[in-house]
Structure 1
Amino acid sequence: MSDHEARVSYTEVADQEVRSLRVRYCRLRTAGGEPVAELEAHSFHLRFGAVAVAAEGIGGVETEPQFRLQGHMSRLLRQALAGMAQRVDVAFVSNGIEGVYEQFGFVGAVTEGHLVIPVRNVEQAAEGDPGTAVSGIRSGSPADLPAMIRLYNTAHARRPWTHARHAGWNRLIPQATWKPGSQTLILQIDSAAVGYAVLEGRAFGDPLGSLTVDELVAENAAAARLMLVAIARLCWQRRLSEFTVREPADSLTGRVARHMGCTYQQRFPPSGGMMAAVLNRSSLVRKLDRELRRRAAVQQPDKDYDTAFDALRRGDLLPDDKALIRLLLGQWSTDDAYVHGISIPKRYGDLCTAWFPGGGTQSLPTPYAHRLDRY
């Protein structure tokens, strides 16, 4: 331990509620109590398909200017991860810095993507005057949050990386002076909410040059189509030619938009971005047993399954935890693993192909990080 590390001490402040997430503050301070560095450990449940597990995510990482470039952040991350490993089996970073988090076991495990939808395409698929309001569309309110949570959890029940939103969830961005907040639209049919859209807020004075939808979720294809028509007609009023929807291409919204005609733009960062790390391999794999059985269509006792599962849990099969997290989340398929030089014994080949089909397949949707759950 170097001299400058010896002069600081590590503390954790118990969980606090911050925008519907439980947050634990991990800090380094000098012997005199002066702040040195701090990060936040956010608690949530994240899906690996049809199973959600308790997880923690690192955010709010900061070192005071006078203590930078002295190795304090590395020490803070090591100690924070050691504490996280006592509580959960997997850790995440919502927006990792390039070339930093890899040394702590993290790896990029989800890509950015969004739909760009021409207003003209939606108008052609819709009926009636493009300036006419869609029946059943109204502004949302806090009273709509339970229905929105239900719709979201149902729509993305098997999508890796998505959060399992709890009953008290509210990550909508509040409005403040000079700061735009979320604008919510609700589609209501027969007194029930069957769809919603959360529009990215526009600050006072911003040009009317774009419209972005942070989330668009619907109960069925007809409702998704009406929501897209409502957004297109809002664009028509603002004289916009297209709008952006931050939803995956294989979601219900994405499929309806693809039928109308759209572009899907995706980004694959080589480093940084949204990252994940396995903290306790054996425990994590055990918790995902039900999900792995679902993917492999194995529900009854099966000797071959049990043998392969135990090998995966121990690390005899796929010992690289960075590759494992990508495979579990659907960022990689077994073919991707082969491309990167990772071999799978022949006796486990068929089962691993079923376990790790990659996102965007019938058994496993594309992993996707929704904007409102980032921290």
Structure 2
Amino acid sequence: MDNQRSSRCHAPFGRGCGVQGCRTGVGDGLPVGPPRRRATRSAEETPVPQPGHEPAVHYTEVADQEVRSLRTRYCRLRTGAGAPVAELEVVSLRVRFGAVTVDAEGIGGVETEPGFRRRGHMGRLLRQALTGMAQRVDVAFVSDGIEGVYEKFGFVSAVPEGTLVVPVRNVERATGVDAGAAVPGVHGRSVADLPAMVRLYNAAHAQRPFTQERRVGWNRLVAGATWQPGSQVLVLPAHGALAGYAVLEGRAYGDPVRSVVADELVAEDAAAAALLLSALAGLCWQSRLSEFSVREPADSLVGRVARRMGCSEQRGFRPSGGMMAAVLNRSALVRELEPELRRRAGREQPDPDCDTALAALRRGDLVPDDAVLVRLLLGHWSSDDADAAGAAVPERYRDLCSAWFPGGGTPSLSTPYAHRLDRF
């Protein structure tokens, strides 16, 4: 994903982005993340003069650093004497747009040194980093950020937050199992379970927009530390294989248990999902809690089982600041996603009308606003949502765009979702 694609458009798109847990730099008006451990400077980190008002500030990159299962590129501004000015991390991702997965990059770890704020350094760093990203990938993502900032740089919210809330009593009634009883087979995981967890996750969400394809060796479980919670994992084996697992949100040591929350719960079939939900109900029973939460989409297998038992769904549609996306190279992105659009429309075979519309989409004659386009491609919006927002589709393309962009949670496209463990 770090290969240079010199044929890409190098025109500046003048956009920046935000990161999870960022804070605002005084005067920059741009996000500044919490301090991260910096990689040591290497011989490959070659200073490049940064054009602008301060010729003494240089831009550098250190590529191919492995950080918590993500290939990371450190982008930095330094003074001529080598003092740090600002830095951010660019992470390499594989993101699903339905049945097609594309290379992408995300930005995290944004930080400006206190003594260099109010000088526009962060804006210059973001623009420089994004220019490089556009040579490698066609779409960029942001996990979390400051509301009202990132739209100015081309990013838009592209996935809602969704949580299922399941009453313990409903699980007991549906399964006939007393919540106080142990669930056969469910136990804590071992290191050997992780590869099977990755395979099960990838299979369960193989066509879900915004989810990431987890590669071999993935491990973004939160490690416990002093006074800091770590991930608790429950696994359900069956016939020598993994039938399901749940990753529970950790709680700080010494805190009373006020909730049971599964950051993700994946099962190979409905029976395994019901057993894992029963195990969570049992944890609630031990702590005298009446309900638990599962951070999974309602149209997933686990979501369907929970809905059959009886649950509520909490959804949040943030106007800005979280789970954002931006198109970097429109024509190339649409070309990558042509097989997916043909699949949604049921037109895998050559079709002159479809070919004409795809060419118009690549050029920007159809859906000219990139912000609208990325929401449509990810299923965050349907073509009707675009119409309601004033981005009307020409009548000649209306039927085809309705098939291409049905919105998530429909027969041809799953609800887009961003699991907590894959946020950066």
Matching residue within 225, 231, 252 for 1:203: 252
Separation in structure 1 between the aligned mates of residue 279 and residue 242 of structure 2, nearest angstrom = 15
Kindly indicate whether residue 355 of structure 2 is the aligned counterpart of residue 310 of structure 1: no
Separation in structure 2 between the aligned mates of residue 105 and residue 129 of structure 1, nearest angstrom = 52
Matching residue within 246, 250, 274 for 1:225: 274
Partner residue in 2 for 1:148: 197
Kindly indicate whether residue 56 of structure 2 is the aligned counterpart of residue 7 of structure 1: yes
The letter for the 2-side match of 1:370 is H
SS in 1 for 2:92: strand
Q: Deviations over 1:231-268 (max 9, x none)?
A: 10111112111111111111111111111111111111
Q: Deviations over 1:335-374 (max 9, x none)?
A: 0100111121111111100000001111111110000000
Contact in 2 for aligned 1:22/1:42 (Cα 8 Å): yes
Matching residue within 379, 399, 408 for 1:359: 408
Separation in structure 1 between the aligned mates of residue 283 and residue 391 of structure 2, nearest angstrom = 49
Contact in 2 for aligned 1:123/1:229 (Cα 8 Å): yes
Please report how far the alpha carbon of residue 6 of structure 1 lies from its aligned counterpart in structure 2 after TM superposition.
3.0
SS in 2 for 1:86: helix
Contact in 1 for aligned 2:260/2:283 (Cα 8 Å): no
Separation in structure 2 between the aligned mates of residue 367 and residue 300 of structure 1, nearest angstrom = 27
Please report how far the alpha carbon of residue 130 of structure 1 lies from its aligned counterpart in structure 2 after TM superposition.
2.3
Partner residue in 2 for 1:115: 164
Alignment of structure 1 residues 153-302 onto 2, 5 Å: 153-302=202-351
SS in 2 for 1:222: helix
After TM superposition, the score normalised by the length of structure 2 is: 0.87
Partner residue in 2 for 1:22: 71
SS in 1 for 2:136: coil
Partner residue in 2 for 1:345: 394
Matching residue within 130, 136, 139 for 2:188: 139
Separation in structure 1 between the aligned mates of residue 213 and residue 302 of structure 2, nearest angstrom = 19
Contact in 1 for aligned 2:188/2:235 (Cα 8 Å): yes
Separation in structure 2 between the aligned mates of residue 199 and residue 76 of structure 1, nearest angstrom = 36
Please report how far the alpha carbon of residue 2 of structure 1 lies from its aligned counterpart in structure 2 after TM superposition.
5.5
Please report how far the alpha carbon of residue 120 of structure 1 lies from its aligned counterpart in structure 2 after TM superposition.
1.2
Separation in structure 1 between the aligned mates of residue 177 and residue 409 of structure 2, nearest angstrom = 35
The letter for the 2-side match of 1:355 is W
Give the unaligned 5+ runs of structure 1. none
Separation in structure 2 between the aligned mates of residue 176 and residue 197 of structure 1, nearest angstrom = 21
Separation in structure 2 between the aligned mates of residue 356 and residue 342 of structure 1, nearest angstrom = 13
The letter for the 2-side match of 1:273 is G
Please report how far the alpha carbon of residue 214 of structure 1 lies from its aligned counterpart in structure 2 after TM superposition.
0.5
Please report how far the alpha carbon of residue 170 of structure 1 lies from its aligned counterpart in structure 2 after TM superposition.
0.7
Please report how far the alpha carbon of residue 129 of structure 1 lies from its aligned counterpart in structure 2 after TM superposition.
2.9
Separation in structure 2 between the aligned mates of residue 60 and residue 97 of structure 1, nearest angstrom = 14
Please report how far the alpha carbon of residue 52 of structure 1 lies from its aligned counterpart in structure 2 after TM superposition.
0.6
Please report how far the alpha carbon of residue 190 of structure 1 lies from its aligned counterpart in structure 2 after TM superposition.
1.6
Partner residue in 2 for 1:70: 119
Give the unaligned 5+ runs of structure 2. 1-50
Kindly indicate whether residue 97 of structure 2 is the aligned counterpart of residue 48 of structure 1: yes
Percent of paired sites with the same residue: 71
Kindly indicate whether residue 128 of structure 2 is the aligned counterpart of residue 79 of structure 1: yes
Contact in 2 for aligned 1:117/1:261 (Cα 8 Å): yes
CA RMSD of aligned residues (A): 1.1
More displaced stretch, 56-65 vs 116-125 = 116-125
Kindly indicate whether residue 143 of structure 2 is the aligned counterpart of residue 94 of structure 1: yes
The letter for the 1-side match of 2:392 is S
Separation in structure 1 between the aligned mates of residue 52 and residue 336 of structure 2, nearest angstrom = 39
Which is richer in helix? Answer: 1
The letter for the 2-side match of 1:70 is R
The letter for the 1-side match of 2:59 is Y
Separation in structure 1 between the aligned mates of residue 421 and residue 338 of structure 2, nearest angstrom = 29
Kindly indicate whether residue 77 of structure 2 is the aligned counterpart of residue 33 of structure 1: no
Contact in 2 for aligned 1:91/1:276 (Cα 8 Å): yes
Contact in 2 for aligned 1:46/1:55 (Cα 8 Å): yes
Please report how far the alpha carbon of residue 104 of structure 1 lies from its aligned counterpart in structure 2 after TM superposition.
1.4
Alignment of structure 1 residues 324-343 onto 2, 5 Å: 324-343=373-392
Please report how far the alpha carbon of residue 171 of structure 1 lies from its aligned counterpart in structure 2 after TM superposition.
0.7
The letter for the 1-side match of 2:305 is V
Please report how far the alpha carbon of residue 208 of structure 1 lies from its aligned counterpart in structure 2 after TM superposition.
1.3
Separation in structure 1 between the aligned mates of residue 304 and residue 118 of structure 2, nearest angstrom = 48
Contact in 2 for aligned 1:78/1:104 (Cα 8 Å): no
Separation in structure 1 between the aligned mates of residue 268 and residue 318 of structure 2, nearest angstrom = 32
Please report how far the alpha carbon of residue 117 of structure 1 lies from its aligned counterpart in structure 2 after TM superposition.
1.0
Separation in structure 1 between the aligned mates of residue 284 and residue 410 of structure 2, nearest angstrom = 33
After the TM superposition, which parts of structure 1 deviate over 4 Å for at least 4 consecutive aligned residues?
none
After TM superposition, the score normalised by the length of structure 1 is: 0.98
Please report how far the alpha carbon of residue 7 of structure 1 lies from its aligned counterpart in structure 2 after TM superposition.
3.0
Q: Deviations over 1:66-120 (max 9, x none)?
A: 1112211111111000000011000000112212211211111111111111111
Contact in 2 for aligned 1:178/1:203 (Cα 8 Å): yes
